[in-house]
Chain A
Amino acid sequence: MSLFVNITLDGLANGMIFAALALALVLIFRATRIVNFAQGAMGMITTFIASSLLGQGVGYWWAFVAVLTIGFVLGALVERVLVRPLQGKSELNPVIVSIGLLVVLEGIAGAIYGNASRGFPAAFSQSGLTVGHTKIAFSHFDVFILVAVFALMVAMLLLFRFTTLGLRMRASAFAGEISRLLGVRVGMFLTLGWALAGVAGSLAGLLVAPTSSFGPYFMDLVLVYAFTAAVVGGLESPVGALIGGLITGLCVSYVGGYLGSGLQPLGALALLMVALMARPEGIFARPPARKV
């Protein structure tokens, strides 16, 4: 029983991280109809920058803020330099370019920092909390993960629902031509979508690094889990990303706990295939009105 509880708690914490990266994928997919497969690698690079900053003696929270800012700039830069030239071409082209970016970023990180996995500090203690007299597999750091991702989600929700900026972003994503006619600077808001996704991706990197073998490839699996989460949630909806993240986190955690950690990606693949077979549009997406 305690095994089951611990696995579940672990799955929830992981699920929140997947949700953060899934949110990044959703933000970009909503804005530009592209799945950014380099999102994980971008988070990996910013986490390495954080690691360097911490090595220079910068305080954790200063590094935290700096890295989220760098993630913002990196996201905007990628959109402007790499994605903008592909506008209006086949939908395979951006997928291939994002894979190219993934490879380049991993290569750069490997060339500079080496392949060996290194430690990354957590913001809070990683030893389990004690409930009553039993120690559970849920630490202060896991609480921080829950709070941080939840805060990010709420901030995005408030931005999109209650501000003019968010309204313009939604308008640019859903009806670019009409918004342009109404005087919205569509290009700028698409870039902003990528930039916000960069923030979410950087946050995911900072949250994953302490609990994984932090190296150039540490975000690969997180990215595919986040992709699974985003698809389960519908690729369109931030709330869907959260629910999808938790479902994926629990699924991966149960597979890892009962069948062995090597089979976790296979579990995610099974979940993804079931989700795509059962509801290709995802749980939270409205069915498309027409497909032509």
Chain B
Amino acid sequence: MTQVVPPSRSLAGGPWWRRIRLPTQPLARHLVLALGGSVVLYLVTSALSPYNDYEVGEIALFVVALAGLSLLTGVNGQISLGHGAFMAVGAYTTALLMTHTHVNFLLELLASIAAAALLGLLIGIPAARLKGPYLAGMTLLLALALPPIADKWSSTFGGDQGLTTTVPAAPGSLNPEKWLAWIQIVGALITLVLLANLLRSRYGRSFRAVRDDEIAASLAGIHVARTKVTAFVISAACAGLAGAFLGLSTGVVNTGEFPLTLSIQLLAAMVLGGTGSLMGMWWGAILLVYLPQWSTSLSGHFSLGSGASAYLATIIFGLVLIVVMIAAPTGIQGGLRWTWRRLSSIGSGYSGGQGSG
């Protein structure tokens, strides 16, 4: 994909946002965006209470998982209803390493990524031969099959109590919640930069080519099965990192954290954010973190019982999935891009240029 600079951008004048020019080289461009994002998030977190820090950290960790899922489903056309299982693998790997060894924190995270990627490889190889619904069913089964393993060998995996995790000591007088939130934000930004770059590379183009037409892609010299397995492994690795982060946020890793609902909520958040987009995953992650709270206050507003309120979030997630798929398959990010293009074209009469995602 060649970089076409829209003519309107090269003109001086017009509204102020049109005069901002990002570097055209993808890595530089994504790094500049990530740097800008980290400055914004730094300012945001420095104004927040510890509990808000915890929430921001959760948003960041869900962005990691959702970005991987978005790459898998939106860019490569494979579906996973079992990403919670990969998150569980990442979380348990970190927790086990923390319980039994004293290796470097970064190494523990890398081990979590590697473990989830390995499971992704194991699932991805048969998955590469499968079409949509078959893969959906297999990953659904994975999400249900994996957590009971931890219950079966409860002496290793801690049974119902689970395993505890410890956040590495914060430097200076920084409070631990803020420190963890920053670790998670940095993790999310690194993941986004790497994935955004990947999507601009020949890998990204192969992913899209395979999604659009497998036979045409293989005629063009793309190894279809290898491409699909690669996408699956990358996606699982992201989920593994997210799982490790989740384990750190909650302080405890047990099977109750990874029900089938988690996998389905990830899918719903990804679809709502905008399937195939990376930046849209922030919307999805915000929804994942705040929807349960909103639905609790909503059900308080309508004075529903506490039993019903626990299910309201679930119902809303399901409705979101259905309505978005039927009415607006590009999700929030798609809607924003459409609006942005409209606004730009009003100014200049030029309406080309897809967002970079």
Q: Is B325 an interface residue (CB 8 A)?
A: yes
Q: Is A100 an interface residue (CB 8 A)?
A: yes
How many chain-A residues does the 8 Å CB contact rule pick out? 51
The contact string, 1 if C-beta is below 8 Å from chain B, for chain A 68-104, is: 0000000000000010011001111101110111111
Cβ of A35 and Cβ of B133 under 8 Å apart?
yes
Cβ of B152 and Cβ of A269 under 8 Å apart?
no
Taken together as a complex, chains A and B put the C-alpha atoms of A276 and B127 apart, in Å, by 9
Q: Could you tell me the dominant secondary structure of chain B's interface residues?
A: helix
Cβ of A276 and Cβ of B138 under 8 Å apart?
yes
Cβ of A35 and Cβ of B137 under 8 Å apart?
yes
Inter-chain contacts of B335 with A (CB < 8 A): none
Q: Which listed residue (B144, B267, B319) contacts A96, Cβ 8 A? A: B267
Taken together as a complex, chains A and B put the C-alpha atoms of A85 and B322 apart, in Å, by 11
Chain B binder among A110-118, A167-175, A179-187: A110-118
Cβ of A269 and Cβ of B145 under 8 Å apart?
yes
Cβ of B260 and Cβ of A92 under 8 Å apart?
no
Q: Is A65 an interface residue (CB 8 A)?
A: no
How many chain-B residues does the 8 Å CB contact rule pick out? 48
> What are some 20 contacts across the A-B interface (CB < 8 A)?
A37-B140, A91-B132, A92-B73, A92-B132, A97-B321, A99-B136, A100-B325, A102-B264, A108-B315, A111-B311, A221-B144, A227-B137, A228-B141, A231-B137, A263-B148, A263-B149, A266-B148, A273-B126, A273-B138, A276-B138
Q: Which 10 A/B pairs are nearest by Cβ-Cβ distance?
A: A100-B321, A103-B318, A104-B318, A107-B315, A265-B145, A107-B314, A35-B133, A262-B148, A100-B322, A111-B308
Given contacts A104-B318, A269-B142, 9 further A-B contacts (CB under 8 A): A99-B267, A103-B268, A104-B314, A112-B308, A228-B141, A262-B151, A276-B126, A276-B130, A280-B134
Enumerate chain B interface residues (CB-CB to A < 8 A): 73, 77, 79, 81, 126, 129-134, 136-138, 140-142, 144-146, 148-149, 151-152, 215, 260-261, 264, 267-268, 271, 304, 307-308, 310-312, 314-315, 317-322, 325-326, 329
Enumerate chain A interface residues (CB-CB to B < 8 A): 29, 34-35, 37, 82, 85-86, 89-93, 95-97, 99-108, 110-112, 114-115, 217, 220-221, 224, 227-228, 231, 260, 262-263, 265-266, 268-269, 272-273, 276-277, 280, 291-292
